[in-house]
Amino acid sequence: MTFPLFALNTVLFPGCMLDLQIFEARYLDMISRCMRQGEGFGVVCIVDGQEAGEAAGQFSSIGCEARICDFQQQANGLLGIRVEGGRRFKVRDAQVLADQLTVAAVDWLEEPAEQPLGSEHADLLALLEALAEHPLVAALGMTGGVSSQAALANQLAYLLPLAPEQKLQLLELDMPQARLTQLQVWLDQMQGENGAAQ
């Protein structure tokens, strides 16, 4: 099956919430079709190009399914939707339609069985709970209350101010423990840089 893609300057992770304003005809049509058929669409990160106008020249080969969970007409007249990240996928074959909407054949990536959090994750869990208190995060309904390694890794990867390339590197990792380990490495590096700057 062909799957519609929404190329953005962001990386969506499973279980994470994203608010979007829809104003281009290609995406309004796409959202209308998705809602009628009860299906989602794919979010991929732009590597080269821009969000509006012509289809992005280049985007990530790994993306995340976006499932529409709420929508409303906004004060500025635009359609606002809230999506939740679903399954990860790999783009196999993409094409741009006449209306500049990109569609692709995708392979769904397998997720490992849920693994519980251990005492070694306490610092990362505390960091997520601190991030969840930020008004913008709270407004998305992301409360930080997680119980699995996958949820902790995905929410931290999504919320931390990492470069898109780093977020994509995390999304490509199949094992949540590997994501958590890489996040800890980067956090240690950041703390080291901050300590050296003081």
Domain spans, the chain: 2-108, 119-197
pLDDT at 32: 92
pLDDT at 53: 60
| 18, 12 contact by CB (below 8 A) | yes
Q: What torsion do the CA atoms of 169, 91, 98, 49 make, to the nearest 10 degrees?
A: 10
Residue 12 has pLDDT above 90, yes or no: yes
Question: Helices 149-159 and 164-172 sit at what angle, rounded to 10 degrees?
Answer: 160
- The runs of H, that is alpha helices, within 88-163 are 122-132, 135-139, 149-159
Determine whether domain 2-108 maps to CATH 2.30.130.40. yes
Residue 54 has pLDDT above 70, yes or no: no
2-11, 51-60, 136-145 — which one is most confidently predicted on average? 2-11
Lowest mean pLDDT among 97-101, 141-145, 184-188: 141-145
Structure tokens at 168: 């994509």
Q: How far, in Å, CA of 86 to CA of 131, rounded? A: 22
- Cβ contacts of 183-191, under 8 Å, gap ≥ 24: 183/124, 183/153, 183/156, 183/157, 184/124, 186/162, 187/127, 187/160
Over pLDDT 70: what percentage of the chain?
A: 92
Phi-psi region of 21 (alpha: psi -120 to 50; beta: other; left: phi over 0): beta
Residue 174 has pLDDT above 90, yes or no: yes
Question: Cα dist. 169→11, 63, 153, 189 in Å?
Answer: 10, 11, 12, 17
Over pLDDT 90: what percentage of the chain?
A: 72
Q: In the predicted model, what is the mean pLDDT of residues 175-193? A: 92
What 3-state DSSP class applies to 178? helix
